[in-house]
């Protein structure tokens, strides 16, 4: 455990968490430890604007799974802010909401996988975002850091140093793969916390219906 936590540094881990898995948890914990964060707040998305290609599971289920997965870590919290917001969720609004809640002094760190950061950096309000929060991007398998390094010169000069890279143990876990596994009756044990696995089973999440659409349970 890192005892050098610095009050005033808060991590935000956004995601669809459909379902949450050890890749998310390991990344959040690595960021917390390396940046001496006071806490990490997990923010399950409402209706994500970029995930329209499959029916995202009901937000309440994703929220419950996130609660179950984070319960044993006293530094982890879960926020309903995106779930309770109307319409699509945008990171810039979420960050602004935490800024209002915690005040001007707090340092916000938005934690993402390195693949997600590249997407974020193409958004139109990236300048504003980089003023409001710093980024911690975790490498995940199959991602080449030089792609990020190549895009760095295109960033606003004052924002460039506000993106930090960390390495997490190579976890080739993704929610897409877990959903595929459930649908195809393959094991998901050890890819995510047992309580989440049990929740998925008891609600019948990710099982196919005859018409090929995912069942909500």
Q: Rule CB under 6 A: which residues touch ligand ATP?
A: 15-18, 23-24, 27, 112-113, 115-116, 138, 140, 168, 171, 173-176
Residue with tokens 């949450």: 20
Q: Which is nearer to ligand ATP, 18 or 29 (CB)?
A: 18
Shortest distance (Å) from residue 150 CB to ligand ATP? 18
N- to C-terminal Cα separation, the chain: 38
Q: Which is nearer to ligand ATP, 84 or 180 (CB)?
A: 180
Nearest to 147 by CA among 110, 118, 116: 118
Q: Which is nearer to ligand ATP, 14 or 159 (CB)?
A: 14
Measure the CA–CA gap between 56 and 65, rounded to whole angstroms.
14
Contact 15, 42 (CB under 8 A): yes
Shortest distance (Å) from residue 103 CB to ligand ATP? 25
Shortest distance (Å) from residue 61 CB to ligand ATP? 13
Residue with tokens 């958004």: 123
Contact 110, 96 (CB under 8 A): no
Shortest distance (Å) from residue 127 CB to ligand ATP? 20
């Amino acid at each position: 455990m890192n005892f050098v936590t610095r009050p005033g540094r808060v991590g935000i881990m956004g995601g669809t968490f459909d379902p949450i898995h050890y890749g998310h948890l390991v990344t959040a914990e690595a960021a917390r430890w390396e940046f001496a964060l006071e806490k990490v707040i997990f923010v399950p998305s409402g209706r994500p604007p970029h995930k329209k290609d499959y029916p995202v599971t009901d937000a309440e289920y994703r929220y419950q799974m996130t609660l179950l997965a984070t319960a044993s870590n006293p530094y982890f919290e879960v926020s309903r802010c995106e779930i309770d917001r109307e319409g699509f969720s945008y990171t810039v609004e979420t960050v602004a909401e935490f800024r209002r809640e915690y005040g001007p002094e707090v340092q916000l760190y938005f934690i993402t996988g390195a693949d997600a950061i590249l997407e974020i950096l193409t958004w139109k309000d990236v300048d504003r975002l980089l003023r409001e929060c710093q980024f911690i991007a975790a490498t995940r398998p199959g991602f080449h850091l030089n792609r990020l390094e190549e895009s760095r010169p295109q960033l606003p000069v004052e924002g460039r140093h506000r993106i930090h890279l960390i390495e997490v143990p190579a976890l080739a876990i993704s929610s897409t793969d877990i959903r595929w596994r459930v649908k195809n009756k393959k094991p998901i044990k050890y890819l995510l916390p047992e309580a989440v696995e049990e929740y998925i089973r008891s609600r019948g999440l990710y099982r196919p219906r005859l018409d090929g659409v995912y069942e909500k349970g």
